[in-house]
Amino acid sequence: MYNIAIRFLNNKMDAEDILQESFTTAFSRLEELQNKDLFGSWLKRIVINNCISLQRKQKIAFEEIDEQRHREVDEMDEGMPKVDPALVHRAIKELPNKGRTVLVLRALEGYSHKEIAETLDISVSTSKTQYSRALSLLNKKLKGKIDVN
Amino acid sequence: MSTELEKYLNSQRETLDVESPDDQLIWEGIRQDLHSSASHRGKKRMLIRIRNIAAAVIILVSVGYMINDIFGDRILGGGVSLADIDGELGKREQEYRTLVNFKLEEARIFNHVDNIIIAELLEEIQKLDTIYEQTMKDLAELGHNEQVIHTIFDTYEKKIYLLELIIIENNKIRNYERDESLYL
């Protein structure tokens, strides 16, 4: 849960605060949870919602983007080399806030673009655009890191 | 169309969780949050109930540990509890249990039972569980006894400490394995 939060917020203290707040919320609303086996995914949802809510407070706006401008993904057709997961984690955290949020939701948390659009209050095409850009940027960052090391 | 990078992110999702929070600080915060909001609403009884359910849920979420045999129900279940003796002590014990369960969950994720240090730590925990069982028998026999109560909490604290060491050791092994498999 902590790693989800820190990937969203890129700040240790904020992530710890969100984790604490989410556990407190979950524990105090536990009676609302019908199926206790779903506690893990329920808690994860609370963490994600709290992260997004904090981002909103921090005024990270998910503005609409022109759809035509998002065709810039560099496909890694040559395949992914073996990369240290810590490097990938760090590279994700270095992504710009908006793209990072969409990328984390889509690629790591399995949200559909429709769900992302609803969660972040943006259009589906903006979600796709942000995602595509973030993926492209992450790709470049990783290539850079691999080359450097 | 999914790229190689997307496939990587999808398949390596779990390994990307490389950072650890300050658990102690977070749990202390949760404890205080729950306490203050409950007393604010005058729902102390409800708080204890929530904590009990929360602890039970964490146990459920934690099923399937390899170390389950060792930790089992010894420290989590039992006949007599401190809550039967004193409500405040029961509350304190519940907090320790919650923390133990949280640590167990963390220790479970990347557990390396074949590691000699971890094996020794597990052995130590086993000994602690035996002491705990004996102390609970003493509690049932003697009732409110300062020394017995002290031993119970001491056992929890030592167990948490040992679990911390297992987590650190697991992280070390995990980092080593990651470095080994690294192609740059």
> What is the secondary structure of A34-64 as a DSSP string?
S-GGGHHHHHHHHHHHHHHHHHHHTT-----
Q: Please state the domain count of chain B.
A: 1
B77 — pLDDT class (breaks 50, 70, 90): very low
Q: What is the pLDDT of residue A81?
A: 65
Q: Which of B13-27, B76-90, B106-120 has the highest mean pLDDT?
A: B13-27
Q: What is the pLDDT of residue A102?
A: 92
Classify residue B1: in a domain, yes or no. Answer: no
Q: Which of A11, A12, A13, A27 to mutate to test the interface with B (most CBs of B within 10 A)?
A: A27
Report residue B176: phi and psi, to 5°.
Answer: -65, -45
- Cβ of residue A144 closer than 8 Å to a chain B Cβ: no
Flag whether pLDDT at B125 surpasses 60: yes
In contact, A81 and A147? CB cutoff 8 Å: no
B90-108 burial, b for 16+ CB within 10 Å, e for fewer? Answer: bbbbbbbbbbbbbbbbbbb
Residue appearing with tokens 């679990």 = B163
Pairwise CB contact (< 8 Å): B4 & A75: yes
Q: What is the pLDDT of residue A114?
A: 92
Classify residue B16: in a domain, yes or no. Answer: no
Segment B1-21 shows an average pLDDT of 79
A51-82 burial, b for 16+ CB within 10 Å, e for fewer? Answer: bbebbeeeebebeebeeeebeebeebeeebee
- The domains found in chain A, sorted by start residue, are 1-59 (1.10.1740.10), 64-149 (1.10.10.10)
Flag whether pLDDT at B163 surpasses 50: yes
Classify residue B2: in a domain, yes or no. Answer: no
Classify residue B9: in a domain, yes or no. Answer: no
- Average pLDDT across chain A, whole number: 80
B118 — pLDDT class (breaks 50, 70, 90): confident
SS (H, E, C) B13-82: HHHHCCCCCCHHHHHHHHHHHHHHHHHHCCCHHHHHHHHHHHHHHHHHHCCCCCCHHHHCCCCCCCCCCH
Q: Which of A43-57, B78-92, B110-124, B166-180 has the highest mean pLDDT?
A: A43-57
Classify residue B66: in a domain, yes or no. Answer: yes
Q: Please list every residue in chain B whose beta carbon sits closer than 8 Å to the beta carbon of residue A21.
A: 33
Pairwise CB contact (< 8 Å): A83 & B8: yes
Classify residue B87: in a domain, yes or no. Answer: yes
In contact, B144 and B86? CB cutoff 8 Å: yes
In contact, A135 and A72? CB cutoff 8 Å: no
- Average pLDDT across chain B, whole number: 73
Q: Please list every residue in chain A whose beta carbon sits closer than 8 Å to the beta carbon of residue B15.
A: 85
Classify residue B122: in a domain, yes or no. Answer: yes
- Cβ of residue A15 closer than 8 Å to a chain B Cβ: yes
Percent of chain A with pLDDT over 90: 14
- Cβ of residue A89 closer than 8 Å to a chain B Cβ: yes
Complex-level ipTM: 0.71
Give how far the C-alpha of residue A65 lies from the chain's centroid of Cα atoms, to the nearest Å.
18
Measured between alpha carbons, how far is residue A116 from residues A14, A56, A73, A122 in Å?
A: 22, 14, 19, 8
Classify residue B153: in a domain, yes or no. Answer: yes
Shortest Cα–Cα distance, A116 to chain B (Å): 17
Segment B146-170 shows an average pLDDT of 87
Give how far the C-alpha of residue A55 lies from the chain's centroid of Cα atoms, to the nearest Å.
11
pTM exceeding the 0.90 threshold for the entire prediction:
no
The packing angle between helices A2-9 and A39-57, to 10°, is 20
Count CB atoms within 10 A of the CB of residue B59: 17
B1 — pLDDT class (breaks 50, 70, 90): very low
B22-75 tens-digit pLDDT: 777 777 777 777 766 545 544 454 555 556 566 555 544 443 344 444 444 444
Q: What is the pLDDT of residue A73?
A: 47
Segment B79-101 shows an average pLDDT of 83
d(CA B5, CA A132) in angstroms, rounded, equals 12
Closest CA to A25 of A7, A45, A6: A45
d(CA A86, CA B18) in angstroms, rounded, equals 6
Q: Pick the residue with more confidence: B31 or A17?
A: A17
d(CA A103, CA A95) in angstroms, rounded, equals 9
Domain containing residue B139: 21-180
Residues near B91 by Cβ (< 8 Å), separated by ≥ 6? B48, B51, B83
Q: Please list every residue in chain B whose beta carbon sits closer than 8 Å to the beta carbon of residue A76.
A: 3-5
- Cβ of residue B64 closer than 8 Å to a chain A Cβ: no
Pairwise CB contact (< 8 Å): A139 & B3: yes
The packing angle between helices B87-109 and B146-180, to 10°, is 20
Q: Pick the residue with more confidence: A58 or B133?
A: B133
Closest CA to A81 of A149, A143, A144, A148: A143
Smallest Cβ distance to B12: which of A77, A85, A146? A85
A39-91 tens-digit pLDDT: 788 888 889 989 888 888 776 655 555 444 444 444 444 566 677 888 888 89
Q: What is the pLDDT of residue B12?
A: 81
Flag whether pLDDT at A100 surpasses 70: yes
